[in-house]
Structure 1
Amino acid sequence: MTESRRDPDAAANSAAWAETLADLHRRRERSHSMGGADRLAAHRASGKLDARARIQRLLDPDTFRELGTLVGGEVAADGIVVGSGEVNGAPIMVGAEDFTTVAGTIGSGSNSKRYRIAELALRNKIPLVMLLEGAGFRPGKHGGRSPTDLLAQARCSGLVPTVSAVLGPSAGHGALVAPVCDFRIMSRHGAIFTAGPPVVKESTGEDISKEELGGPDVAVPSGVIHNVVDDDAAALDDIRRYLSYFPSSAWSYPSARSTNAAAAPRSTPELLDIVPRDNRRVYDMRAVLDVVFDDPDWFEVQPGFGRGIVCALAHLGGHPVAVVANQPQVMAGSIDSDAADKAAHFIMVADAFHLPIIFLADNPGMLPGSRSERDGVLLSGARMFTAQTTATTLKLHLTLRKAYGFGSMVMSLLGFDDQVATFGYPGATMGAMSAGALSRAAKADTELSEKLHDAELQASFNSAKNLGFDELIDPRETRTALLSALQRGLYTRQAPAQPVLRTAILP
C-alpha cells in the first residue's frame, strides 16, 4: 500500500480492531468451553467423548468449520455444536448435541441451527450427520411458528444420506431425529425414548431406568436403532464406513474404489464347501458374502433385527453394492415380519442413492404360523415386495438352493422385474411350496409324494428351459457371473443421476 493510501489513523484502527477481535475471541472461548471444566470432566469420566471431540473424531483432520458459534450467548452454542467438514474427503453437514450444556436441550437458537444445517445439506447436496445426546426441548422455549428442524430434515429424505448416532440419553423432540434418518447407530451408553424416566414416572407411575426404557436391548428389537457398538469412537468410525459406500446425494452415483487384486474376477470354489447340497442343512450366508465380494470387510446393517435376512453394504469389482440375502441359519431362511420390514427400508435407501442391489435367495418362503400372522407378516412382506419391485436401481438375483412362494417374489425371483441378471444354482428348488408341504396339503400317497419330490429336484432345469433364469451357474462361477452382469448393467449410467421419483404407497 502506498503512503498516500495509508489511513492516517491506522494505529487507532488497529487498537479498535484489537479490542473488537479480543471480544470475539472471548465469546468464542465461552462457546468452546461448553458446560465448563467440571461437567466436561464428569462427562469424559463416564467413558464418552464430548460434543466437540465427537465431531473431531468423525471428520477428516482440520476440516471442521463451525457455524452459529455465538448462538445462545451465555448458554454455550445453545447446547449444540454444528457446522461442515469432510468425511473420506467429501463434505458433510454435522450437528452434535452438547449434554454438558443445559443437558443438550433445544432452545430457539439451537432449533434454528439444527434447521440450518439440514437446509444446507439439501441445498449443497451433501450428507447430514446428527450426534445425539439431549433431553429434548428446553422448558418454555418451544412455541410460536418458528420452523422445526425435523421439517428440514424430512425434506432431506431420499435426496441426501442422513445418519444419526445416539451416544447418550436422547429424549423428546431430539429423539425423533434418529428414526427419520436412513441409518441409526447407538453406543452402549445410549438410550432413546419419547420421554425420560422422570416423565414416565409422573405420567404412568412406572419406575424404570434409562436403560430399561430405551437402551440397546429395547431400541434394537424395536427396530428404532440399526446397529450397536461399544463406545463413541466405534460409532463414529462406523459412520465413516457407512458413508463411504454412498454418493453425496441422489444427484450423483456411488464412487468406485481404486481397483486392485481383490476387485478382479476370480473363481469361488470355497462355495462348494460352504453351501450344502442338501436343502435342509443350514449354513451361514455371511460366509458366502465373505467369498463373493471383494473382501470380508463388508458392512452389515441391522444385524440384530430381522435376522432371517442379511442386509449389507459391500464392494464388487470396486463398486459399492447393497446385498439382501436370506440367512439359512435363522428359521431356515424363512422371512418374518421384522426381516421384511428391515429389507424394505434397506432397499429403499439403496435405491434412493443408486446402489445396485444383489439378492441372494435361499428361503422356504414367508414364515407361517399364528404368531407370524399376528405380527403382520403379510403386510410386511407386501411392504418389501413393493419396495423391491418399484426400485429403479440395478438389480441382480441368484437363487442358491431354494426360493418358494411369496418368499421368492420379495427376493426378486420374478419375471419382468427389470433385473440386470437372474442366476440359479443347478438343483435349486422353487414353486408355490416345497414338495413335502404340497404332499401333506394334498394328502398324497407315497407314489405321488415321490413324483412331487422328483419334480422339485428338476425345478431349476425346468425353469432354465423356459428362461426362468438367465443362466444356471456352477457355484464356482458365482463371483465372476455377478461381477460381469454388474459391469454390464453399469453402462446404463449414460446420463446424470437423478433422484428417484416414488409413486407407490408402501403397504
Structure 2
Amino acid sequence: MAKAEDWAETLDELSRRRDHSRAMGGDERVARHHGKGKLDARGRIQHLVDKGSFREFGTLVGGDIAADGIITGAALIDGRPVMVGAEDFTTLAGSIGPGGNAKRYRLAELALRDRVPMVMLLEGAGFRPSGEHYGRTPTDLLAQAQCSGKVPTVGGLFGPSAGHGALVAPVCDWTIMTGQGAIFTAGPPVVKESTGEDISKEELGGPSVALASGVIHNLGADDAAVLDDIRRYLSFFPSSAWSYPSSTPAGEGTGHRATPELLDIVPRGNRQVYDMSDVLDVVFDDSGWFEVQPRFGRAMITALARLGGHPIAVVANQPKVLAGSIDADAADKAAHFIMVADAFHLPIVFLADNPGMLPGSRSEKTGVLRSGARMFAAQTAASTIKLHVTLRKAYGFGSMVMSLLGFDNQSATFAYPGATMGAMSAAALSRASNATEDLEAKLRQAEVDASFRSAGHLGFDDLIHPQETRDVLLDALERGLYSRQAAAQPVTRTVITP
C-alpha cells in the first residue's frame, strides 16, 4: 500500500526546482531591478490579474535558467480568462532560448484554441546567442499571427526590447509602454557595430521615438499604470471574435439625456477652433473614455467608450489640430483602429468635422492618398454597426473615410443643421475657379444651405439639434444591436488594404 512518505523525496525535488524557477535571476538581480522603480516579471503578472488566479505552465523549462527567461500561464482579469506571458529581464536579460520559444508558441496556441485574449509583458534582449540551430522549430510569431482578429492581443513594454522579442509588440492589436521602455530592431551595440552610429537606447527607440513613429500606441507613467491601462483596455472587448462585447448594467450616467452643452462647445462658424474631446465627454457615458494612440496622428481621435453601457469605438476628427484635416498619420491610425474594432464587433461612432484630406507637398510626400485609401478601405469593409454625425463640415474624401458616404452600410447617419459638405469648401472652389464676387456669394450661400438640401434628398437620415446628439446615437445603437441575431463569428476580410 502506498504511503505519503514514499512521495517525500520526489516532491521535495519538485519544490526545489519550482523555487529555483520562481526566484528568477536571484535576489541581487531582482533587487537591482526593483531599484529602478520597476516591478519584476512575476510582480507584473500579480498586479495585472485577479488575485490568486494565475496558473503557470512551463515552470521547469530551462533547467538552471529559471523558466528560460519567460513566465507563462493562464489567469483571470475581471473574472475572464486570459493567457499571459512576461519576459524576465533578471534572467539572462529576458532573452529567448529554445524552451522560451516553445513556451511563447504554446501561449499563443492556447489563446487561440481556448478563444481568450493574450497579453505579453515585454522586456528582453531577443534570441539568445547559443550556437544552437533552431531548424524548423516553430516561432511564436507564427502562432501570434494566427491570433490576429480572432482574440485580442496586447503588448506591454517595460524596458528595452530588441530583435525578435520586439516584433511581438507591433504584431499585437494594441501596445503600451512605460517611460523606461525602448523598442528597436537591434540595440545600440549592434547599431554601432553595423553602421558606426553611436546612439543611446532612448534615442534609438525610447518613448519619444516609439510613440511618434506609431510603433507603440500609448504611454503609462510606470509599471502599475501600464498594467492598469491593459485591464481597462481589455474591459471594452469580448474574449474573442466568437463573442460580442459585454454591456455594463444600466445605471447612473448610462441612460438617455439631452446634450445642450454642445451648443457652447461646437462653434457655429467653420473657422473657429474647439476641442473634440469636450464633445466625447458630453456624449458618452460618465464612466469616461479611453483614448488609443493620443500622441500619433493627433488630427484624429480614436477612443474606446461606452454608450448606454455598450462598449463602442469612436473615430473623431480633432479641429484643434490641423483644423481637423486628415493627414497620413491620422488616417493610418484610424485604419488600424477601425479594423481592430470591427474584428471584435465593437460598434463604431464617427464624429466628422474636417475640411478634407490634408493638402500640400509635405502631405503628399508622406503618402496621404494611400493612407486615406487605407482608412476608406477599412471603414467601408467594416461589417459592424456604424453610426455617423457631421458636426460642422466634411468635405470630399474626408467625408467618405468618415463613413458619410451614402449606401455604405451605416445603421444611422446624422448632421447638425448648417453642416457644410461637398467636393471642397466654397472658399477653395472660388479660388480654384477664379469665381466672380457674385458667383462666390452664391457658392457661399449654397454651402450654408447644403445640410438642408442634402436632408431633402436623404443624403443622411436626419438633421438633428445638437442637444439630441446622445439620444439619437443611443437609440440608433440599441436598434442596431438587434442585428446580433446569430452567433458572433470572426470577420472575413476580402479587401486588400492599400
In structure 1, the partner of 2:364 is 373
Q: Distance in 1 between matches of 2:215 and 2:78?
A: 27
Q: Does 1:125 align with 2:109?
A: no
Q: Does 1:458 align with 2:449?
A: yes
In structure 1, the partner of 2:27 is 37
Contact between 2:287 and 2:306, CA under 8 Å: does it hold in 1?
no
Contact between 1:307 and 1:339, CA under 8 Å: does it hold in 2?
yes
In structure 2, the partner of 1:110 is 100
In structure 1, the partner of 2:427 is 436
Q: Does 1:476 align with 2:476?
A: no
Question: Once the 2 structures are TM-superposed, how far is the Cα of residue 21 of structure 1 from its aligned partner?
Answer: 0.6
Between 1:328-337 and 1:290-299, the stretch displaced more is 290-299
SS of aligned partner of 1:132: strand
Q: Distance in 2 between matches of 1:142 and 1:205?
A: 29
Between 1:298-307 and 1:138-147, the stretch displaced more is 138-147
In structure 2, the partner of 1:410 is 401
Q: Distance in 2 between matches of 1:296 and 1:107?
A: 43
Question: Once the 2 structures are TM-superposed, how far is the Cα of residue 382 of structure 1 from its aligned partner?
Answer: 0.2
Q: Distance in 2 between matches of 1:142 and 1:460?
A: 66
Contact between 1:387 and 1:506, CA under 8 Å: does it hold in 2?
yes
Q: Does 1:89 align with 2:79?
A: yes
Residues 147-192 of structure 1 deviation map (CA, whole Å, 9 limit, x = unaligned): 0000000000000000001100000000000000000100001000
Q: 1:198 to 1:280 in 2, by over 3 A?
A: same
Structure 2 counterpart of 1:71, one-letter code:
V
Question: Once the 2 structures are TM-superposed, how far is the Cα of residue 16 of structure 1 from its aligned partner?
Answer: 2.3
Q: Distance in 2 between matches of 1:249 and 1:471?
A: 35
Q: Distance in 2 between matches of 1:192 and 1:17?
A: 47
Q: Distance in 1 between matches of 2:370 and 2:37?
A: 42
Structure 2 counterpart of 1:72, one-letter code:
G
RMSD (Å) for aligned C-alpha atoms: 0.6
Q: 1:257 to 1:296 in 2, by over 3 A?
A: closer
Question: Once the 2 structures are TM-superposed, how far is the Cα of residue 297 of structure 1 from its aligned partner?
Answer: 1.8
In structure 2, the partner of 1:4 is none
Contact between 1:107 and 1:142, CA under 8 Å: does it hold in 2?
no
SS of aligned partner of 2:63: coil
Identity among equivalent pairs (%): 73
In structure 1, the partner of 2:477 is 486
Residues 248-274 of structure 1 deviation map (CA, whole Å, 9 limit, x = unaligned): 000000000111021100000000000
Q: Does 1:276 align with 2:267?
A: yes
In structure 1, the partner of 2:6 is 16
Structure 2 counterpart of 1:305, one-letter code:
F
TM-score, normalised on structure 2? 0.99
Structure 1 counterpart of 2:382, one-letter code:
A
Q: Does 1:445 align with 2:439?
A: no
Q: Distance in 2 between matches of 1:403 and 1:26?
A: 66
Q: Does 1:304 align with 2:295?
A: yes
Structure 1 counterpart of 2:235, one-letter code:
S
Q: Distance in 2 between matches of 1:506 and 1:296?
A: 34
Question: Once the 2 structures are TM-superposed, how far is the Cα of residue 445 of structure 1 from its aligned partner?
Answer: 1.2
Q: Distance in 2 between matches of 1:97 and 1:222?
A: 24
Q: 1:190 to 1:478 in 2, by over 3 A?
A: same
Question: Once the 2 structures are TM-superposed, how far is the Cα of residue 296 of structure 1 from its aligned partner?
Answer: 5.8
TM-score, normalised on structure 1? 0.97
Matches within 5 A, 1:64-463: 64-140=54-130, 141=132, 143-295=134-286, 297-463=288-454
Structure 2 counterpart of 1:417, one-letter code:
D
Q: Distance in 1 between matches of 2:305 and 2:410?
A: 19
SS of aligned partner of 1:303: coil
In structure 1, the partner of 2:44 is 54
Q: Distance in 2 between matches of 1:420 and 1:296?
A: 25
Contact between 2:253 and 2:287, CA under 8 Å: does it hold in 1?
no
- Where structure 1 has 5 or more consecutive residues not aligned to the other structure, the ranges are 1-6
SS of aligned partner of 1:176: helix
- Where structure 2 has 5 or more consecutive residues not aligned to the other structure, the ranges are none
Contact between 1:290 and 1:296, CA under 8 Å: does it hold in 2?
no
Q: Distance in 2 between matches of 1:492 and 1:158?
A: 21
Contact between 1:167 and 1:187, CA under 8 Å: does it hold in 2?
yes
Q: Distance in 2 between matches of 1:278 and 1:368?
A: 21
Q: 1:495 to 1:178 in 2, by over 3 A?
A: same
Q: Distance in 2 between matches of 1:400 and 1:460?
A: 11
Q: Distance in 2 between matches of 1:336 and 1:390?
A: 21
Contact between 1:170 and 1:191, CA under 8 Å: does it hold in 2?
yes
SS of aligned partner of 2:472: helix
Contact between 1:289 and 1:296, CA under 8 Å: does it hold in 2?
no
Residues 96-142 of structure 1 deviation map (CA, whole Å, 9 limit, x = unaligned): 00000000000000000000010000000000000000000000245
Structure 1 counterpart of 2:395, one-letter code:
Y
Q: Distance in 2 between matches of 1:255 and 1:103?
A: 39
